[in-house]
A and B are shown apart, each in its own frame.
Chain A
Amino acid sequence: MNPETIGSILESVIGIVVLIGALISVISVIGLIRLPDVYLRSHAATKSATLGVLFILNGAFLYFWIFEDHFSIKLLLGIVFVFLTGPVGGHLNGRAAYRSGVSLWKGSVRDDLKEDLKRERQERQEGRGL
C-alpha cells in the first residue's frame, strides 16, 4: 500500500471516532432530557457525556499527532483532566442534591443513605445538647 492510501484510511478512522463521540454525546443528552430524576439524570450526564467527549478529544489528539506532527501535551492534559473531573463533579452534584432535600423518583426501591443521614443528624443534635 502506498502512503496516500494509508493516510486516507487513517483520516477516515479518526473521522469515524469523532462521529462516534458525537453520537454518544447525543445519546447522553437524550438521557438528560428523558430520565425522571436528578440522580438518574446525573448518571446520564456524567458518565456517557464524559465518554463521548473523551472519544472526540482522543480523535483530535491522534489527528494532530499523525497529520500535523504536533504531539500536543495540552490536549493530553485536557483529556486527563476531563477524565478525572467529570465523575467527581457529578458525585459532588448528587451529594449536594440529596443533602439539600431533592426527592427521589417515586419508582426508586431503595434508599440506604436516608437512615444514615438521619442518625448523623441526631448525633449532631445530641452533641450540641451536651
Chain B
Amino acid sequence: MMNGLLLASLVLLSLAILGSMFRLLAGPSIPDRIAALDTIGILLLATIAVIGMLLRTTAYFDIILLIGILAFIGTTAFARYIERGVVLESGDDREHP
C-alpha cells in the first residue's frame, strides 16, 4: 500500500518536473525561466524526500536542506541580476544606478 502510493507520487512528481522543464525551455521572458528553475529545484527536493522514504534511509536529508538553500540563492541572484545588472553591489553603485 505504502510503496504503491509512494511510487505513484514519484511518477506524478516526474511529470511535474517535465512540465516545468517545458516552461524553462519555452518561456518567453527570462523571469519565466527563473520561476521554472525555482519550481524544478523545489520539486527535486520533494522527489528526494519520497526516494528517502522508499529506501527507508535518512542519509538524504542533508541533500534536501542543501537543495532548498541553493534554489533560493540561485533565484535571488538571478532576480538581482535582471533588476540591476549586478549580483553583488558595493556602496558606490547605489549613487549611480
* Contact between B82 and A56, CB atoms less than 8 A apart: no
* Residues of A close to B10: CB separation below 8 A: 22
Contact A77 B65 (CB under 8 A): yes
Pairwise interchain contact A22-B42, C-beta atoms closer than 8 A: no
For window 1-41 of chain B, which residues contact chain A by CB distance below 8 Å?
1-2, 4-6, 8-10, 12-13, 15-16, 19-20, 22-23, 29-32, 34-36, 38-39
The interface size of chain B toward A, counting residues with CB under 8 Å, comes to 51
Known: A41-B32, A99-B83. A89 touches B58 (CB 8 A): no
Q: Which residues of B contact A53 (CB under 8 A)?
A: 42-43, 45-46
| Contact call A74/B61, Cβ cutoff below 8 A | yes
Q: Is the CB of A93 within 8 A of B34?
A: yes
Contact A74 B72 (CB under 8 A): no
Query: Per a CB cutoff under 8 Å, which of B1, B16, B65, B83 touches A74?
Result: B65
**CB <8 Å contact, B31 and A96:** yes
18 residue pairs bridging A and B, Cβ less than 8 Å apart: A18-B6, A22-B46, A26-B15, A29-B15, A32-B19, A33-B23, A38-B32, A57-B49, A60-B50, A60-B53, A70-B58, A75-B61, A78-B65, A89-B79, A90-B38, A93-B78, A100-B31, A102-B29
Q: Which 5 A/B pairs are nearest by Cβ-Cβ distance?
A: A15-B5, A22-B9, A97-B31, A22-B12, A96-B79
